[in-house]
Amino acid sequence: MNNTTYMGMEIALRGLYSAQRGMANVAHNVDNVNTPGYSRQVLDQRAARPLLVANSAGMLGMGSDVVSVDRMRDTFLDEKYWSEAQYLGEWEVKAFIIEEMQTIYNEPSDNGYTKIISDFYSALQTLSTDPSSLSVRAMVKEKGIAIAKYFNSVASHFDHLQEDLNNMVHAKVEEINSLADQIKELNLQIYNYEVMGNKANDLRDRRDYLVDKLSRLINCNAYEVETGLKLPNGEPEKRFVVTISGKALVDHADVVHLKCESRKQKLNFEDIENLFEVSWADGNKISIKSGELKAYLDMRDGNDGLVGLNGEKSPNCRGIPYYQRKMNEFVQVFARTFNEGIIDVDGDGVLDKINGHVDGYTITSQPGDPPCGIRFFTMLGDDGKPLSSADFEAMLLDYAAKNGITDDPSTDYDERMLAGYSLLTARNFSISFDIEDDPSNNIAASDKPGEPGNNENLKTLMGMRHNPYMFMEGMPEDFIKTLISSMGVDGQQYVQSYEIQKAILNQVDNRRQSVSGVSLNEEMVNLVKYQQIYGAAAKMIQTYSEVLDILINRLGV
């Protein structure tokens, strides 16, 4: 028998094997249709090497071979996805955090600032109608406590939120390091598998998926570089590199981790202690330009670009320190104005002195007595209890002296007190011990001694509420409204940026999925196609089997 007798069976067998590989590939694609990061795989099927006919009549075809299984991936779209994902991560986190900060203010509501400050001035108004009423004086005290507690609560919640963001910074750094280690291990597995000419499709998918996750956390670039060497199969040797701001996080089998270290000095006066500073583990500084980590750092440290206590510029965004600073500014100006009567009366930018609470007279003052000198608002001491007016005054004057303002009596007293009020913060804001202990006798309603029914000092104090020059933003309510409005504008910007970035990323991902995604309809068509090919190849083998049966068993009879 001629060798060509079996050649047709060999060709049919090759077709059978190719169809089997095709159906197995379809099964693999369908099974991974919902696997994150999976890339559709296709067969590279080619005509088998032909056989030269002995009489030089030509080349005889030998069927087909499956040369390789390739994954469908567009490198450009991957890089585009990674460059856009970092901004999505940043805006998503900022939008979430600003929403939490807005909740802390609880405004507008029945428990917000507007209601609390209105209740306080309403109590003063009620007292002005009957300055000698002990019950109304007690109510004024309680409303004053409510104002102090409101600011204490807001500051405390901001502190807790800043601590939470600090913990998230540490968690994100650990996540970045973990992803870097996983990418390194995949680099080694892929290299060892492909060094002999194989294709590590599923491992490459897993690596690209890890870079997808990493790109949301921090600004990173990922790419393969040729080393100039050749693999045993003749292909150029490539190494996979992931960089952050130009420095390699992963360089094939080498990883440089990020680290968190507690700051030796606060960046902002408003910060809590022991906030983390992020750097490279080898000691170099890192430039974090976007991603979730950038968002947590910005919202934790952002003080509108002010230079901090350690000489470094804070992030140019309005984060927790900015709003803490504005709250501190409010209580300092509000308490100073109410206590001392130091206020810009006519809007010329120069602080004037009018009657404050210290300049009034209490219900027990007698003719010839000096002004009471009692401050309505002071601060909490180290023991958490309100300071008396005298202790508060001594602390402010001492602070002024230590900060370059002499304690010489010839130096303007109001100037020293003005400087000392920078000690007051939303965290330690309080009514004075004198008011808390004895509101009946220590609230100064009168502007003259020995007149219990006099309410002139109260009128002056209440009039300050409507002074449009108390703050740069206007009246006290205007200050808070402006602060909350600016937070609302920031929140809208973050949400808008997030929605825009989400749409951009979805568009890129849709394009990427059009290349790499698995279509069940397409796979079912392929399955039917391979099924038909398999059946045809089997029929060919059956036909050749019958031919050989006749040739061997019947012609010899």
- Give per-residue pLDDT as tens, 370-427: 999 999 999 999 999 999 999 999 998 888 888 766 655 545 677 778 888 989 999 9
Mean pLDDT estimate for the chain: 90
CA distances from residue 297 to 211, 220, 489 in whole angstroms, order as listed:
21, 17, 20
Is residue 371 in a domain?
A: yes
Sign of the alpha-carbon torsion through 127, 131, 134, 137: positive
Distance CA 199, CA 472 (A): 67
Cβ distance 405 to 429 under 8 Å? no
Asked whether residue 6 falls in the same domain as residue 138, the answer is no
Q: How confident is the model at residue 4 (pLDDT cuts 50, 70, 90)?
A: low
CA distances from residue 35 to 365, 517, 518 in whole angstroms, order as listed:
82, 10, 10
Asked whether residue 374 falls in the same domain as residue 463, the answer is yes
The whole-number average pLDDT for the span 56-74 is: 85
Residue 155 phi/psi, 5° resolution? -65, -40
53 has a pLDDT exceeding 80: no
Residue 262 phi/psi, 5° resolution? -65, 140
Asked whether residue 402 falls in the same domain as residue 551, the answer is no
77-113 in b/e burial notation, b at 16+ Cβ within 10 A? Answer: bbebbbbbbbbbbbbbbbbebbeebeebbbbeeeeeb
Distance CA 211, CA 168 (A): 20
- Give per-residue pLDDT as tens, 276-321: 999 999 989 999 999 999 999 999 999 998 988 888 889 999 999 9
Element (H, E) at 19: helix 4-31
Asked whether residue 132 falls in the same domain as residue 50, the answer is no
Is residue 421 in a domain?
A: yes
Distance CA 535, CA 20 (A): 11
Is residue 455 in a domain?
A: yes
Asked whether residue 353 falls in the same domain as residue 481, the answer is yes
Question: Is residue 457 helix, strand or coil?
Answer: helix
Point out which residues pair with 40 in neighbouring strands: none
3 has a pLDDT exceeding 60: no
Q: What is the 3-state secondary structure (H, E, C) of 122-150?
A: HHHHHHHHCCCCHHHHHHHHHHHHHHHHH
- Give per-residue pLDDT as tens, 433-471: 999 999 999 999 999 998 888 999 999 999 999 989 888
Asked whether residue 412 falls in the same domain as residue 530, the answer is no
Choose from 69-73, 351-355, 451-455 the range with maximum mean pLDDT.
69-73
- Give per-residue pLDDT as tens, 162-172: 999 999 999 99
CA 47 to chain centre: 55
Asked whether residue 127 falls in the same domain as residue 30, the answer is no
Is residue 251 in a domain?
A: no
CA distances from residue 77 to 32, 84, 159, 213, 387 in whole angstroms, order as listed:
21, 11, 42, 15, 64
Asked whether residue 349 falls in the same domain as residue 395, the answer is yes
Is residue 464 in a domain?
A: yes
Angle between helices 134-194 and 113-129 (to 10 degrees): 170
337 has a pLDDT exceeding 70: yes
| 479 CB burial (10 A radius; 0-12, 13-18, 19+) | buried
Q: How confident is the model at residue 54 (pLDDT cuts 50, 70, 90)?
A: low
Distance CA 26, CA 222 (A): 30
Identify each DSSP E strand in 31-189 by its residue range: 41-47, 51-52, 59-60, 64-71
User: To 5 degrees, how large is the angle CA 306–CA 311–CA 313?
Assistant: 35
Sequence-ordered list of residues with C-beta below 8 angstroms from that of 130, at least 6 positions apart, any chain: 136
Sign of the alpha-carbon torsion through 445, 446, 450, 454: negative
Tokens matching residue 395: 């602390």
Distance CA 215, CA 508 (A): 14
Q: How confident is the model at residue 108 (pLDDT cuts 50, 70, 90)?
A: confident
**pLDDT value, residue 349:** 81
Distance CA 418, CA 145 (A): 23
1 has a pLDDT exceeding 60: no
Distance CA 42, CA 72 (A): 7
Asked whether residue 536 falls in the same domain as residue 430, the answer is no
Is residue 411 in a domain?
A: yes
Is residue 303 in a domain?
A: no
Is residue 394 in a domain?
A: yes
Asked whether residue 433 falls in the same domain as residue 547, the answer is no
Q: Out of 476, 492, 508, pick the residue that ends a domain.
A: 492
Quote the number of domains for the chain. 2
Asked whether residue 398 falls in the same domain as residue 542, the answer is no
Residue keyed to tokens 């071979």: 65
Residue 70 phi/psi, 5° resolution? -110, 145
CA gyration radius for the chain?
Answer: 39
pTM: 0.90
**pLDDT value, residue 442:** 93
Asked whether residue 53 falls in the same domain as residue 145, the answer is no
Please give the residue range of the domain that contains residue 478: 122-155+324-492
Are β-strands 51-52 and 41-47 bridged in parallel, bridged antiparallel, or unpaired?
unpaired
**pLDDT value, residue 556:** 59
- Give per-residue pLDDT as tens, 6-43: 788 888 889 999 999 999 999 999 999 999 999 999 99
